[in-house]
Structure 1
């Protein structure tokens, strides 16, 4: 793929003031959507193992079952990526985003109404997993659209900075979900386990209404409108087949880049809460680490996105992937100390630094890998297929390793392996940032 193909098809970009409104609306919409999806991960670590997957006296076994349900949601994400990628490439980015939020909001609210295992037996986990599947389908179409609604409206030379703001919304959703559970846990333990845990889920109905209002007012992207103006020849009846025909290498590269970012983040955010319980660290300290690190990451994401405009997508992403390998062992060692400052530092290194570098660069990097007429499908496919065996399986694999070895070192090895896979993908990818390519061309001419 040529540099021109990466940056062409943008159409008439919106003025700066309108772009700022698009960014603000996208951040809010993404935060509300991912608040819903991330609730399950927090609940799986803290309450679902007891309420929906009771398996005797070993708490790790129940947690393992809860994270299996977590993985099911990720298994559905490629289906959502294909479905909403098709809608986004054929009918528009905005229409796909309204649909994903509607589906996600309904499934999350329904989780808050579910009976527990004690009340209805096996129907409880079965219904929970079914709703998690629905969440997964919606999430599979969400990320690509949330990224493209900004990146396709941004000037190419600042695409890294502007598109990184879409990830601020994702991180904000995690902060909201962790904060909701933190507040719910302030209730007496009996009240929290009886009905308090339901409040973050039931509160999603208000979030759903606000999100739909915000997204309905968003314009579609300049790139999609440019494809529309090109006529029927530019619209493919099956974008999935077209992207696999034209961009198989880019899909594989996107999957490889995604492994460390996605797998590492769910170990730091979901599994870490279960590990904290295993070693006897108070849940409120662990949740504080999640909230603090993700709050700092709101700023680091934008910084790394901006940096990728200046020096290139590859070096910034590579920094994050190498950092993941470096902190794989110290992360758990610091939690083992039971010292709150060191626990907070562990989360800051894992989330705000390593994950922030990768996820801040990823929106622009992925956008520039695919042509506009199949971009939604290509971005969603690479992003969501990798999420199945990266983010979806990482808490499950990490919990199984902990249950088998009663130690964190196998989990650290697994985490380092995820980082190595993405390092290889970065080294195999081409640079796509306009500024970095221009400097490279000037240097070659000199």
Structure 2
């Protein structure tokens, strides 16, 4: 039988499946709380604390976004590293390590001295912590998604994988909500100590996540592959690049478009609407929090549709929705109206982003066989994240200042380009929903034909 998917008749206990889903969701939430908290602080705090006060504020913000990008650059490296050991020795232990790394980094950022205290060592230390953070997230996303997807029957794989994926917006809700509460402090107090508390609170979340990860069992798919002797002793990344070159490319491009929108809203648009004067810092963060909360439910909704109708149809319709709504979304952002800006966040996250992003976990997982899946999913998603999310703040800043008067229209056209490439990649990909069931059916038909022919 094709090992690219879970067999249709493989026993999956309800208790273990539930535990795996909860563990993946909580672990992913903690990871992305820490990772996205940095993104929120990059535009609101770091330019003022970790660079010389003689530096132009715009340059300080650009440098903060460059350091932000460093985390995205190291995410594929972390994905390949943890994917290698995850495909060789199992998913569970790797996820325990990534969560521990993430928690330690966030505590370190919360305790970091500023430029006024240690000078140029401050931004250098920030770069180092961001790199370690990127390595941890690089191994987290694929592992958490696979632990959820590989613990359930294939007919529910899209929805199960999306449970881990919703850790992203859940982490964003927590990050922006907690940071937003402290953002209401007077500017001096917020920059002095208020912004540090959300990072330090990460310790409590990590303890809960580690406890859940300790209790979950190893992936049934991986255990079965081990028993059947399908786990290779070679290098998984080599097999992925040689065995799945086009599948990997399609996965990268399919992820880049929706991930660009996610990063744009979380990192660039908050300071953008604050600087416009339409809303204050706390209001903008609360708008993002509200849209991220709805996003938590939108992702499994679109993932559930992909379980019923297929990954390709849902993602292609999502691409059409994204293209149709991106210009209206930016018009709302530029309206100067409190409620219309809040609506813009709602259009961007739960509708534009989720419509293509919801099925992405299952879409990527089903492209690779079990013994190569952790590496394959890590590589494709994290490279897509680098191309889409990692470059989003810098690209948006550059596009806004092209000098052609296009402003946010330039960003909209660039997003449309990414979505067109994503849609083309999805269209050229094979439909993988219920792939194992179809493979099993073909095998049974082949046996019946042989019996009848005797």
Q: How does the TM-score come out when normalised to structure 2? A: 0.91
The answer to whether the 8 Å contact 2:12/2:153 transfers is: no
Question: Is 2:196 aligned against 1:188?
Answer: no
Please point out which of 269, 273, 278 is paired with 1:272: 269
Q: After alignment, is 57-66 or 423-432 more displaced?
A: 57-66
Q: In 2, Cα distance between the equivalents of 1:385 and 1:55?
A: 35
Q: 1:234 deviation in Å?
A: 2.7
The answer to whether the 8 Å contact 1:309/1:435 transfers is: no
Which structure: larger Rg? 2
1:249 maps to what in 2? 246
Q: 1:437 to 1:314 in 2, by over 3 A?
A: farther
2:428 maps to what in 1? 428
Question: Is 2:197 aligned against 1:210?
Answer: no
- What is the count of residue pairs matched by the alignment? 437
Please point out which of 227, 230, 234 is paired with 1:229: 227
The Cα offsets for residues 398-423 of structure 1, whole Å up to 9 and x where unpaired, read as: 12222444722222222222212211
Question: Is 2:257 aligned against 1:263?
Answer: no
Question: Is 2:332 aligned against 1:334?
Answer: yes
Q: In 2, Cα distance between the equivalents of 1:433 and 1:343?
A: 37
**What stretches of structure 2 of length at least 5 have no aligned partner?**
442-454
Q: 1:228 deviation in Å?
A: 1.1
The answer to whether the 8 Å contact 1:157/1:435 transfers is: no
Q: 1:436 to 1:312 in 2, by over 3 A?
A: farther
3-state DSSP of counterpart to 1:76: helix
Q: In 2, Cα distance between the equivalents of 1:61 and 1:385?
A: 27
* Structure-to-structure mapping, 1:56-95, within 5 angstroms: 58-95=56-93
Q: 1:91 deviation in Å?
A: 1.1
The Cα offsets for residues 281-330 of structure 1, whole Å up to 9 and x where unpaired, read as: 32222212211111111111111111001111012112222322223222
Q: After alignment, is 159-168 or 217-226 more displaced?
A: 159-168
* Structure-to-structure mapping, 1:338-377, within 5 angstroms: 338-377=336-375
Question: Is 2:387 aligned against 1:392?
Answer: no
The Cα offsets for residues 174-212 of structure 1, whole Å up to 9 and x where unpaired, read as: 111111111111222211011111111111122222221
Q: In 1, Cα distance between the equivalents of 2:84 and 2:8?
A: 19
The answer to whether the 8 Å contact 1:103/1:134 transfers is: yes
Q: In 1, Cα distance between the equivalents of 2:170 and 2:120?
A: 34
The answer to whether the 8 Å contact 2:16/2:216 transfers is: no
Q: 1:10 deviation in Å?
A: 7.9
Q: In 2, Cα distance between the equivalents of 1:378 and 1:276?
A: 38
Q: In 2, Cα distance between the equivalents of 1:160 and 1:140?
A: 21
Q: After alignment, is 426-435 or 158-167 more displaced?
A: 426-435
3-state DSSP of counterpart to 1:430: coil
1:413 maps to what in 2? 413
The answer to whether the 8 Å contact 1:87/1:95 transfers is: no
3-state DSSP of counterpart to 2:129: helix
The answer to whether the 8 Å contact 1:9/1:227 transfers is: no
Q: In 2, Cα distance between the equivalents of 1:349 and 1:13?
A: 40
Q: 1:151 deviation in Å?
A: 0.5
Q: 1:400 to 1:58 in 2, by over 3 A?
A: farther
Q: In 2, Cα distance between the equivalents of 1:417 and 1:74?
A: 21
The answer to whether the 8 Å contact 2:23/2:209 transfers is: no
Q: How does the TM-score come out when normalised to structure 1? A: 0.93
Q: 1:208 to 1:202 in 2, by over 3 A?
A: same
Q: 1:142 to 1:429 in 2, by over 3 A?
A: same
The answer to whether the 8 Å contact 2:71/2:135 transfers is: yes
* CA RMSD across the alignment: 2.1
The answer to whether the 8 Å contact 1:319/1:354 transfers is: no
The answer to whether the 8 Å contact 2:399/2:410 transfers is: yes
1:444 maps to what in 2? none
Q: After alignment, is 152-161 or 53-62 more displaced?
A: 53-62
2:448 maps to what in 1? none
3-state DSSP of counterpart to 1:258: helix
Q: 1:9 deviation in Å?
A: 6.0
The Cα offsets for residues 373-431 of structure 1, whole Å up to 9 and x where unpaired, read as: 11000000111122222111111111222244472222222222221221111111111
Please point out which of 273, 284, 292 is paired with 1:294: 292
The answer to whether the 8 Å contact 2:6/2:154 transfers is: no
3-state DSSP of counterpart to 1:75: helix
Q: 1:92 to 1:175 in 2, by over 3 A?
A: same
The answer to whether the 8 Å contact 1:402/1:408 transfers is: yes
Task: Give every structure 1 segment of 4 or more consecutive aligned residues whose post-TM-superposition deviation is greater than 4 Å.
Answer: 8-11, 54-58, 435-438
1:28 maps to what in 2? 26
The answer to whether the 8 Å contact 1:80/1:141 transfers is: yes
Q: 1:57 deviation in Å?
A: 7.2
